[in-house]
Amino acid sequence: MLLCRLVLPTMPSTTSVHESDLIAPRFALDDIVAALDAELRTSSIPDYPGALNGLQIANDGHVTRVAVAVDASMATIAEAAVLGADLLIVHHGLFWGGLQPVVGMAYQKQRTLIANNIAVYSTHLPLDAHATMGNNVLLANAIGLTPSSGFGNFKGIDISVAGETDIDATDVLERTRAVVARYGGTVRTSVPAQGRRCRRWALITGGGASSDTLREARARGIDTFITGEGPHHTTVEAQEEDLLILYAGHYATETLGVQALGAWIEQRFGVPWSFLHLPTGS
């Protein structure tokens, strides 16, 4: 409750002029949303129903400061309000649970957003799949792996990446550990990495390990699969198939895409942005 009291200031008077209004450049929310929708191909990338990609909550129509984060959690919204952001861009949006009454935490979150004039733009698989700002390609690059093909087919679209190399699997493990450690992440493996070579790898950030993706990995001859997390049965299946899976954390593996989007908006519109780092433990 303390959190909510801190971030629920009274709405500013429409007749008052604040110093920040005089110096901060203002950009039309509609222009930024249209640019994001076009760049991310929001209307053409398939996704889960609750993802609701695109603008989820509007504001008064202007943007002066952008915040980006992985999750549209109450903690994220509170941080965005303290920052004075009027556009919050997230990978995991507000409506994952589907049609729900606006009560309890859903009410608190939407009330706080509207009271603080914060618009929310959510981009899930469109961000994962993006060729240069996607979570997948950026994580692969950060680990030092160069994608050469798509992976993770979802409703006809490859949302992720795969490639070939010839290095010790322990190198992949240590590099992955180093990358996700910057975001509080750790790495667990399905089988020991020692003594193995990584020749064909695939990568899906977030909850990428499933029977479907393991089947695709098997069919593609993948020996090393880097992902965020997956259900327990995927570890069993991986052991049976002698597949090295690196479970590098859902949150930590999905921190890069939204930051790239923040930088892209600043470059294109000149709007300052901040990354709100709020690890979830997953």
Q: Which residues bind Zn ion (CB under 5 A)?
A: 206
- Which lies closer to Zn ion via its Cβ, residue 7 or residue 252? 252
- Which lies closer to Zn ion via its Cβ, residue 190 or residue 253? 253
User: Considering the complex, what minimum distance in angstroms separates the CB of residue 246 from Zn ion?
Assistant: 16
Residue facing Zn ion at closest CB distance: 206
User: Considering the complex, what minimum distance in angstroms separates the CB of residue 16 from Zn ion?
Assistant: 40
User: Considering the complex, what minimum distance in angstroms separates the CB of residue 18 from Zn ion?
Assistant: 36
Which residues make beta-bridge pairs with 79? none
User: Considering the complex, what minimum distance in angstroms separates the CB of residue 23 from Zn ion?
Assistant: 37
User: Considering the complex, what minimum distance in angstroms separates the CB of residue 92 from Zn ion?
Assistant: 6
User: Considering the complex, what minimum distance in angstroms separates the CB of residue 49 from Zn ion?
Assistant: 15
- Which lies closer to Zn ion via its Cβ, residue 185 or residue 206? 206
- Which lies closer to Zn ion via its Cβ, residue 93 or residue 147? 93
- Which lies closer to Zn ion via its Cβ, residue 54 or residue 272? 54
DSSP class per residue in the chain: -HHHHHT-PPPPPTT---HHHHHS--EEHHHHHHHHHHHHTTTTS---GGG--EEEE--SSEES-EEEEEE--HHHHHHHHHHT-SEEEEEE-S-TT-S--S-HHHHHHHHHHHHTT-EEEE-SHHHHH-TTT-HHHHHHHHHT----EEEEEETTEEEEEEEEEEEEHHHHHHHHHHHHHTTT---EESS--TT-EEEEEEEE-SS--SHHHHHHHHHHT-SEEEES---HHHHHHHHHTT-EEEE--HHHHTSHHHHHHHHHHHHHH---EEE-------
- Which lies closer to Zn ion via its Cβ, residue 93 or residue 206? 206
